[in-house]
Amino acid sequence: MSNFDMDAPTATITMTLDCADTEGQAGFWKAALGYEEIARVDNFIVLGPAPGVFKLALQGVPEAKAGKNRMHLDMWVPDIESETARLEALGATRRQEKPLDEHGFLWYQLADPEGNEFCVGRA
pTM equals: 0.76
Using the predicted structure, report yes or no on whether residue 5 has a pLDDT greater than 50: no
Strand partners, 55: 14
Check residue 69 and give its pLDDT.
86
| Cα–Cα nearest to 13, from 90, 77, 71 | 71
What is the pLDDT confidence band of residue 52, given thresholds at 50, 70 and 90? low
Residue 110 lies in a domain: yes
pLDDT tens for 59-77 read 999 998 998 888 888 898 9
Check residue 68 and give its pLDDT.
86
- Domain boundary among the residues 43, 62, 81 is at 62
Using the predicted structure, report yes or no on whether residue 14 has a pLDDT greater than 60: yes
Tell me the helices (H) and strands (E) count for the chain, helix number first: 2, 9
Residue 122 lies in a domain: yes
What mean pLDDT is predicted for residues 101-106? Answer: 90
Using the predicted structure, report yes or no on whether residue 123 has a pLDDT greater than 70: no
Q: Domain count of the chain? A: 2
CATH of residue 46: 3.30.720.120
What is the pLDDT confidence band of residue 49, given thresholds at 50, 70 and 90? confident
Is the domain of 82 the same as that of 50? no
Residue 67 lies in a domain: no
First to last CA, the chain: 29
Alpha carbon distance 48, 18 (integer Å): 17
Residue 95 lies in a domain: yes
Check residue 103 and give its pLDDT.
85
Collapsing DSSP to helix, strand or coil, 30 comes out as helix
Residue 3 lies in a domain: no
